[in-house]
Amino acid sequence: MLRVGLTGGIGSGKSTVAGRLAEHGAYLIDADKIAREVVEPGTEGLAEVRAAFGDEVISDGALDRAKLAGRVFSDQSARDTLNGIVHPRIRARTAELMAAAPADAVVVHDVPLLVEAHLGPVYHLVLVVDAPEDVRVHRVVRYRGMDEADARARVRAQAGEADRRAAADVWLDNSGSPDEVLAAVDALWADRLVRYESNVRLGRRAHYGGPRLVESDPAWPAQARRLRERIALAGGERVRRVDHTGSTSVGGLAAKDVIDLQVTVGSIGDADALAEPLASAGFPRVEGIDRDNPKDHAPDPALWQKRLHSAADPGRPANVHVRVEGTPGWRYALLFPDWLRANPAELAAYEELKRSLSARYRDDEDSDRYTDGKEPWFDDAAVRAGEWAERTGWQPSYAD
């Protein structure tokens, strides 16, 4: 099962996207629909709302949503009261629907306030539908009959573009014609969602091709943060920290478009215990790789144990290295990016090596040769990085 969170501000056209995904076969869970169900006539939810807000929010035995909205829109205390009544019921009903989904479903959870509620980490992927404010206001006025000032106030009361972009694994621009966004949804379904679901269900990592270098992408840190949050939630108490490591964590450094993350655990037993939670979160274990290459300062291979996971998402390559806190491999993964950032000449030399090897090994089957070609440089660099760490008093910190 693949869990997809779908969100977008009022007037963004989120319902258009949800409808298209449902046409493709997505199992749609509509948070707004559930919110209406839990306060339908005769429900305990409606009785509690009536007790809290009075008969004035009831019309012909049903909830008068416009009057209730008028009460709570600008009153935080009233909103908190309402949320305390409906949110537990919405969560319970959502859990029932999730449990009823087929094992091979692409579950699309349509949640208007996903960003505001910080729900992103519970999904494999977050889709955000957006359009400029004026376009959204125009739609709300035209299709919902809302006053323009009220419509603009509703738009501005929701999460801003920066927060939505930070939460979005996929950004769907719906500022153009309906056909344009529907075509984007069709491509997303075929190229990513269907493949991602089957990879998660089968415990299979995505295939990303050979060692192709790209220029540094300023979006990498935000992408890594979203993955880190999902991993931390999936791993629970066994996960001590999750760091963005490797070349994509070093600004300005050309790299393969693969996010490297390090998960810190207390023991190799904890690393093994994370196999199923990480796989369910979209990061299946890579069998056959259980250690890093030892360096001269710590030659015992047993000190370099780890577990490797790789992303099942065909649209966001990532490797997850699970290492025990305090081991040489754990320390070096944190040290290396800091050392490169602090030493421009070393960074330039490393990039030159990467470009040279990437030009030599271009095919899919060349990935191992590309990696092996860096090892002699890494062996020497480990010595220089260790000397720098001792000289500067370096201590591990979050790489991003």
Comparing CA positions, the residue from 152, 112, 149 lying closest to residue 9 is 112
DSSP state of 371: H
Tokens coding 342: 């602090």
For the purposes of burial, counting CB atoms within 10 Å of the CB of 328, is it exposed (0-12), middle (13-18) or buried (19 or more)?
A: buried
Contacts of the segment 366-372: beta carbons below 8 A, 24+ positions apart? 366/210, 366/211, 367/210, 367/211, 370/210, 370/211, 371/211
Report DSSP letters for 284-335, one per residue. -B-TT--BPPPBTTB--GGGGB-EEEE---TTS-EEEEEEETTSHHHHHHHH
- Euclidean distance between the first and the last CA atom of the chain, given in angstroms as a whole number: 31
Length of the chain in residues, anyone?
400
How far apart are alpha carbons 311 and 258 in whole angstroms?
A: 10
Would the annotation count 13 as a binding residue? yes
* CA-CA-CA-CA torsion sign (394, 396, 397, 398): positive
Tokens coding 282: 């979209």
Q: In what order do the strands lie in the sheet with 241-245?
A: 241-245, 259-265, 318-324, 307-310
Would the annotation count 235 as a binding residue? no
Q: Quick check: 285 and 306 in contact, CB under 8 A?
A: no
Which residues line the annotated binding site for ATP?
A: 11-16
Which residues line the annotated binding site?
A: 11-16
